[in-house]
Chain A
């Protein structure tokens, strides 16, 4: 097998592979910076919670319109927003902290989703796509949706970057100078939900958060600054998407898990030999500097 047969042929021959690659790259570009911010806000698991929270909306979309990715995506988006908003309100107006209120609402949401699926889609093979993804089934409409959402995410992140960073570092200061600290946090959560919906169209609800958090966690071992970590996370996500698709093509693996597992391998390598705070850096530190 030549290198061209190995790396180029799958994409050259099949349109669905090209669409899957573009979807993967778009998801990596949007998910990288979001993942880094989630991690810095100590909300890594909130991404996971949100990815489960979209399930009942997607299931209702499936019940209404069958396996229509735009309708399921819209349903998932609404469900995710409801969970994010309710969690935000509960942590703001009651004594419960945000992580606990997220856990409560996503579990309720997940249970609702499973119930709806069991009532309407039991035994239906298509519904498995919702759970485990179907990056190879991404059609042109879904692809436009994915690319649109992730492009908008990058723009929106640029717009709210300053208050968002300030909300992380020094929320009291943001509140006194702008009077609206919580607003930017809500916009950020909205972007997270939108990207998870985009990701579940391609990777399924179970895998959606993988392209967001694993590259971000890996990038942390190589870059110290915010911009560097975000760019690197996106780059790792792109590599994982393309490499995962090639693996899934040649070895006949399911594409979603293959992509996430490649990101997992990059993460494992990074935490072993990365530049900052990795096992290597901690066990075999370079000699200290003179000043």
Chain B
């Protein structure tokens, strides 16, 4: 469904993602793990086209870019903007209503139901500025529910979120998986990954291992990943690896 063919992304000529190839299994929940600075978020941004590829291709088989829902790390959202929780969630209907069409009564009801499904029944009228970090993450999950996308990319969705919220939102993710959606989730918590994600990509700029989670998350692979992520020199030579 989503295949990476020799994908490289660089910031200021230093590779953040370096010659990564492989495929995300359709209908499966894949975790992307790796040390800080391993290029996990960058890889997601590359898949949705939010960052320029230095090299290689992202191949979408049988899906379009708009079939992909993407939840970046929450920091990018201006939460001081005067908009209500309900209005923000209703934007999940974008693919059906676009920039101009009115949002129907039924679509409003669906938005309310999505809010209820993430445990925020009755929050529709509140301004988004008044929510806690955990509540806000629930709101974004409600919007994802409405997006009804076949592929869902989640960038550290449980960062700075309490255990209860994490448990609730994991339920939502597992329901998506049961519905045969393809989910790619950047995560730090290896226990959570081992429990819920069948597939794992261990990234440290380069692909260290990609496959069944138990085979990927070995101590040896993680040591390799750490060593790889820490290797950084300002004056590294130009990469000569074959682009093909």
Contacts and interface: CB of A to CB of B under 8 A. Distances in A.
Interface of A: 40, 159-160, 162-163, 165-166, 168-173, 175-179, 184, 224-226, 229
Looking at chain A's contact residues, is the secondary structure mostly helix, strand, loop, or mixed? helix
A165 B95 CA distance: 16
A169 B78 contact: yes
Contact of A226 (B69, B77, B82, B95): B82
B50 A172 contact: yes
Given A176-B69, A224-B82, 8 more contacts: A40-B81, A159-B100, A162-B99, A172-B70, A173-B143, A176-B48, A177-B147, A179-B49
B88 A169 contact: yes
Interface residues of B, number: 26
Contacts of B68: 176
Contacts of B66: 176-177, 179
Contact of B83 (A160, A163, A165, A175): A165
A169 B90 CA distance: 14
A164 to B, nearest CB: 9
B83 A226 contact: yes
B27 interface: no
Residue in A172, A173, A178 whose Cβ sees the most chain B Cβ within 10 Å: A173
Contacts of B69: 176
B81 to A, nearest CB: 5
Contacts of B72: 172
Contacts of A166: 91
Interface in B8-50: 48-50
Contacts of A177: 66, 94-95, 147
Nearest to B91: A166
B65 interface: yes
B127 interface: yes
Contacts, number: 59
B91 A229 contact: no
Interface string B136-159: 000000010001000000000000
Given A177-B94, A224-B127, A169 B70 contact: no
Contacts of B244: none
Given A172-B50, A177-B95, A225 B82 contact: yes
Contacts of A169: 77-78, 81, 83, 88, 128
25 contacts: A40-B81, A159-B99, A162-B100, A168-B81, A169-B77, A169-B88, A169-B128, A170-B76, A170-B77, A170-B91, A172-B50, A172-B72, A173-B143, A175-B48, A175-B50, A176-B50, A176-B66, A178-B98, A179-B65, A179-B66, A184-B99, A224-B82, A224-B127, A225-B82, A229-B82
A175 B49 CA distance: 9
Contacts of B70: 172-173, 176
Contacts of A168: 78, 81
Given A163-B99, A177-B95, A172 B76 contact: yes
Interface in B64-109: 65-66, 68-70, 72, 76-78, 81-83, 88, 91, 94-95, 98-100
Contacts of B128: 169
Contacts of B78: 168-170
Interface in B148-189: none
Contacts of B81: 40, 165, 168-169
A244 B190 CA distance: 67
Contacts of A184: 99
A97 to B, nearest CB: 16
B196 to A, nearest CB: 24
B217 to A, nearest CB: 29
Output the residue of A170, A171, A172 with the most chain B CB within 10 A. A170
Nearest to A184: B99
Nearest to A224: B82
B183 to A, nearest CB: 16
Contacts of A175: 48, 50
Given A159-B100, A178-B99, A224-B127, A173 B91 contact: yes
A159 B99 CA distance: 8
A92 B141 CA distance: 30
Nearest to A227: B82
B233 to A, nearest CB: 22
A175 B94 CA distance: 12
A33 to B, nearest CB: 13
B97 to A, nearest CB: 8
Cβ-closest 7 pairs across A and B: A177-B94, A169-B81, A163-B99, A176-B70, A170-B77, A172-B72, A172-B76
Contacts of B83: 165, 169, 226
Nearest to B153: A176
Contacts of A176: 48, 50, 65-66, 68-70
Contacts of B94: 177-178
